[in-house]
Amino acid sequence: MPTVRTHPVRGLGAKIRWPSQIPLFKTTNAAASSSAARGGSVVVERSSRRERMAEKKGRTEMEVRPDGVAVIAVANPPVNALSIDVFYSLKDNYEEALRRNDVKAIVVTGKEGVFSGGLDINTFGVIQRNKAEQLNDYLPIDTMASTLEAAGKPSVAAIDGFALGGGLEISMVCQARISTPTAELGLPELQFGVIPAFGGTQRLPRLVGLTKALEMMLLSKTIKAEEAHQLGLVDAIVSPDDLLDMACRWALDICESRRPWVHTLSRTDKLESPDEVREILKVARAQVQKQSTNLQHPLLCIDVIEEGIVSGPRAGLRKEAIVFQDLVFTDTCKSLVHVFFSQRAAPKVPGITDIGLMPRQVAKVGIVGGGLMGSGIATALMLSHYPVILKAVSEKSLNAGIDRIKEQFRKGRNVSLHSLLSANLQSQVRKGKMTEEEYEKTLSLLTGVVGYESFKDVDLSVVEDVNVKQQVFADLEQYCPSHCVLATNTSTIDLDLIGGKTNSQDRIIAHVMPLLEIVRSKRTLPQVVVDLLDVGKKIKKTPIVVGSCTGFAVSRMFTSYTETALLLVDCGMDVYKIDQVCTEFGMPMGPFRLLDLVGFGVALASRMQYPENSSVSVNKSMLVPLMLEDKRTGEASQKGFYKYEGNRKAIPDPDIIKYVQKSRSMARIMPDNELLKLDNKEIVDMVFFPVINEACQVLSEGIAIKASDLDVASILGMGFPQCRGGIMYWADSIGAKRIHAKLSEWERKYGQFFKPCSYLSERAEEGVPLSAAKNNANAHL
């Protein structure tokens, strides 16, 4: 018996990029139950006739070649989305091809170099709005099986570009799949809170094996054509010019029995043994429960896959349809769809991206400082093929910075909270995704210098060192060309202060990575913002544009995250209880674990940036200063709120209580027994409502243009759980009135720290969502 693999899904918590399209279907309970009872089709509702007339989009086109192959191409640009109209057109074309005597075989493909990216995600809203309607227009979910897979003529998929979601599912119904070398295949549905709904849960394991299928579905992982070929998901790889002819020849070979006629649902050769299946599913469930504690749909996906293996593929298809219907109406699905659209709306900035400006070419980037931030930024830029000049104050510092970059390339490990490494390059080399030649070529983009002379032809200059930014910008102004964008990597310091000693404030901008929080002052030119938005896109970061203030958007909002936690500890709550509740809520780490990671010195320095008259609520707790005096600096010293041993595992430290007691004594605060009675939900509210309050203030001041930008910022900048839609989306799910009432209650009991801002008070009184747009004449943007 083969060895049982006990780690089927590695890196379950890894961040996967969002594809632009996914497949989507909706079943009805009554129809599904009735169909299951009679052993017939499980059905899927079509949109109402009125909506279909208003939204009708897409078709398939069929051409019968002289050799007797009917080529059916999806035509719905730009990604050949699988609308309901496309499905009906596909079904009609297939039925015509099956009726025609001059058609021997069928090839399915997509026009304009894209097979299909799946269904437009806007369809989620259509389905969710029609939940209560009794629709009479149905599309059988087993149309593929009955019309395509069970057809008397063979089908082959000719795949170029993307085959995602429903696109891949269509191809898996075919008897074979031929692709180009650049094709990408995947089932990304779980990124949106649902599961594959057109047979993907049943066919993919039968084509690539259970272990790989779980990885692709649970991680929403796309794979390249070469890997798909090795796995057996793709039968052959050919050039784009040869794709259609090869697919047609393959289809004719099947028709004439020169190649096997394969029914995917009948295959079992790739499935592991029953004992292996049980162990793989057991480990997969354990990993999901450990890393996705607030999510049910990954577990349901595993259940559906198991149903098909244990009870047969038809039973699996029926369960797949029923589970999908339940999931599409969940808050998780709605939240994740909101995040998807928010990320795509973020780079659209009124008055900047809508006035016809085109990004200027950035051919070379200069970076001042080779520390963790500088070397990380250099790595991200080089991965996107930008030549980089790295300047340091001495040869020693320069060599250290270059060595750090080489180490990042080789080991691919994260070296700081804001590390910019976008891939594990050693892993890519090991898996054959990056050759040694490519590795050396990427490193050749780096030039190290100790002077500014080489900066005369750079298009973008990045400054790392916070302490010398003013002088460095003055120097850069002298050496860099007049068109060069001057950018600073910072998370707190106001741009007007940084650029105070220059005459170039119109081209100074800040960025905070990996979110790429693009910060502009009132003097920053729109062209400069457009240029940096383009760079952000090319280095695969999600940008938001915000105004300049102390802390900008992310740091300013989430200062309240740690400050509230410190206040609650002074008032009697347990350090580790707060962290536990926050991680169970979905944060990657609690506020005290975060303080350890950032370092107490940095945390206190950031706190000092906020002036006395700032609207930012800064608690005066002495807990961190007391620990810092005792040389507890956080994870770097292996002692902070936690103890750290060789593997960086955070271990609660009982010695913390003496610092807590002293801090309470200095603050003259007696522990509040009422706090100890709070349940987990109430603790979450108490920690995050001040964050919402500060986010409202950021919107009120015009630092952020729209609430959805803060949702993106909270998720990508601080790890706020995606399944909750972002900080403002989550706030609206609670309601301004309740948030205002609780903050007011806490203000009376614990002081001004909890005072609701005027924006929140007004929205609560008017009953208006916190995310609703508001005109602001004083906006920073």
Give the pLDDT band (50/70/90) at residue 265: very high
Is 477 known to be catalytic? no
Mean pLDDT in residue range 123-131: 73
Bond preceding residue 769 cis, omega within 30 of 0: no
Q: Are 653 and 646 spatial neighbours (Cβ–Cβ below 8 Å)?
A: no
Task: Determine the pLDDT at residue 469.
Answer: 52
Strands 544-547 and 59-64: unpaired
CA distance linking residue 249 with residue 107, whole number of Å: 10
Is 437 known to be catalytic? no
Task: Determine the pLDDT at residue 379.
Answer: 78
pLDDT at 232 over 70: yes
Least confident of 93-102, 208-217, 384-393: 384-393
Domain ranges in the chain?
29-329, 365-541, 554-766
Task: Determine the pLDDT at residue 713.
Answer: 92
Domain 365-541 has CATH 3.40.50.720: yes
According to DSSP, residue 185 is labeled E
Backbone phi and psi for residue 675, each to the nearest 5 degrees, phi listed first: -65, -35
DSSP assignment string, 229-272: HHHTSSSEE--TTTHHHHHHHHHHHHHTTSS----GGG--TTSP
pLDDT at 125 over 90: no
CA distance linking residue 508 with residue 521, whole number of Å: 8
Least confident of 313-322, 531-540, 672-681, 689-698: 531-540
Average pLDDT, the chain: 81
pLDDT in tens, 145-158: 567 777 889 999 99
Consecutive H or E run containing 64? strand 59-64
CATH class of 554-766: mainly alpha
Least confident of 47-51, 538-542, 564-568: 47-51
Consecutive H or E run containing 463? strand 460-463
pLDDT in tens, 685-733: 999 999 999 999 999 998 898 999 999 999 998 899 999 999 999 999 9
DSSP assignment string, 666-733: HHT----TTGGG--HHHHHHHHHHHHHHHHHHHHHTTSBS-HHHHHHHHHHHH---GGGT-HHHHHHH
Task: Determine the pLDDT at residue 390.
Answer: 83
**Helix or strand or coil: residue 570?**
helix
Task: Determine the pLDDT at residue 471.
Answer: 58
Of the chain, the percentage scoring pLDDT greater than 90 comes to: 52
Token couple for 768: 């208006």
Compute the Cα dihedral for 545, 547, 551, 556 and give only its sign: negative
Task: Determine the pLDDT at residue 536.
Answer: 85
pLDDT in tens, 477-521: 666 666 665 566 554 445 455 544 545 455 444 444 457 888 887
CATH number corresponding to 29-329: 3.90.226.10
Q: Which of 45, 149, 169, 694 is catalytic?
A: 169
Q: Which of 149, 189, 306, 635 is catalytic?
A: 189
pTM, entire model:
0.82
Token couple for 590: 């609690």
Task: Determine the pLDDT at residue 13.
Answer: 33
CA angle 118, 243, 21 (to 5 degrees): 10
Could you give the angle at which helices 200-208 and 210-218 cross, rounded to 10 degrees?
130
According to DSSP, residue 660 is labeled H
Task: Determine the pLDDT at residue 641.
Answer: 96
Token couple for 116: 């299909």
Task: Determine the pLDDT at residue 512.
Answer: 47
Mean pLDDT in residue range 552-575: 90
Mean pLDDT in residue range 122-149: 58
Nearest C-alpha neighbor of 536 from the set 423, 419, 381? 381
Give the pLDDT band (50/70/90) at residue 184: very high
Give the pLDDT band (50/70/90) at residue 36: very low
Residue count of the chain, please give it. Answer: 781
pLDDT in tens, 275-298: 999 999 999 999 999 888 889 999
